Copies of this chain bind each other. A is one copy, B any other.
Amino acid sequence: MKDKFYTYIETLQKTITSKLEEVDGTAKFKEDIWQRPEGGGGRTRVIENGSVFEKGGVNISGVHGELPDSMKTYFGVKEGNFFACGLSLVLHPKNPKAPTVHANWRYFELYGNDGEIVDQWFGGGQDLTPYYLFDEDAVHFHEVCKKACDKHNEFFYQTYKKRCDDYFWNTHRNEARGIGGLFFDYCKATEAMGMQDWFNFVTEVGNSFLESYIPIVTKRKDLDYSQQQRDWQEIRRGRYVEFNLVHDKGTLFGLKTNGRIESILMSLPPHVQWVYDHQPEEGSAEERLLHILMHPKEWV
């Protein structure tokens, strides 16, 4: 399973980065291959200063070895070896009318003393963070998420949509990071869903990514915008940074387990502002966005 999933994310990285370069039209992904001293490594692909994408990364990694102490605590085990691989992506378009998107699909194995697999699971999801909200974009994104889910289980969409709203919650701001999508974790074999079924589900979701995002960014990338709208985007990107550095388990986990810092923090936006006590105007598009972020809604 681990080889099969790693092969899958290798191909998916190529497919996604090719399509994104085509949409951008100017910038190309820069590739960094890195090794992890304790075992494994990754292939980081970053795009910067494009016509469409101001910054973005589409990274894969496959790491293995002895469980770091922090992971032992996290999983409540005393010792053991592990394997983990996944694809992570974040795209920050330049145009404030085009939303930021994040996705991650991952697979994990824990081994016993004789090297046998004692636990294994999939996790992942994708979510959208608009700065100016076009309802039709939110609906489209969620419809694609739902369609991928529905092929596997009629309850997946509502369950994983709710988990996404719960997870990407900036508690100290009392608002969501964005308008959500899917979030699932610890997807383990059951009578109803074997590991192969989970593989089919996770790859279905991964394969749906371009369909969920490309039509949106294509529609919004050339819209006019003012300096004030650009400022709003940079202020909202500050909230994105706050979520990733204060709350996001994946980021903190990476920072505290000696992960490759530049690959982890490629998720941070290129230009960001913090303005003291910024309040959008009453009745404005900015205020409406905030209202929806504070009250996550059903889009499908």
Contact = CB atoms under 8 A, between A and B. Distances in A.
Given A241-B245, A242-B245, A272 B275 contact: no
Contact of A276 (B55, B234, B245): B55
A246 B255 contact: yes
A200 to B, nearest CB: 34
Interface in A131-183: 171-173
A48 B276 contact: yes
Contacts of A273: 270-272
A274 interface: yes
A46 interface: yes
A269 interface: yes
A245 B261 CA distance: 16
A42 to B, nearest CB: 14
> Assembly of this chain: how many copies?
2
A255 B234 CA distance: 21
Contact of A48 (B171, B269, B275): B275
The main secondary structure of chain A at its interface with chain B is mixed
B274 A265 contact: yes
Given A245-B245, A246-B255, 19 more contacts: A30-B276, A32-B277, A46-B276, A46-B277, A55-B274, A55-B276, A238-B268, A242-B245, A245-B246, A246-B246, A262-B276, A262-B277, A265-B274, A266-B276, A268-B274, A270-B273, A270-B274, A272-B272, A272-B274
A293 B23 CA distance: 40
Q: Size class of A's contact patch?
A: 20 to 34
A255 to B, nearest CB: 4
Contacts of A255: 171-172, 246
Interface string A32-57: 10000000000000101000000101
Interface of A: 30, 32, 46, 48, 55, 57, 171-173, 234, 238, 241-242, 245-246, 252, 255-256, 261-262, 265-266, 268-277
Contacts of A55: 274, 276
B275 A172 contact: no
A55 B238 CA distance: 15
* Residue among A30, A171, A269, A274 with the highest chain B CB neighbour number at 10 A: A274
A269 B274 contact: yes
A49 to B, nearest CB: 9
Nearest to A274: B268
Contact of A271 (B261, B271, B276): B271
Sorted from nearest, which 7 A-B pairs have the closest CB atoms?
A245-B245, A268-B274, A172-B255, A262-B277, A46-B276, A272-B272, A245-B246
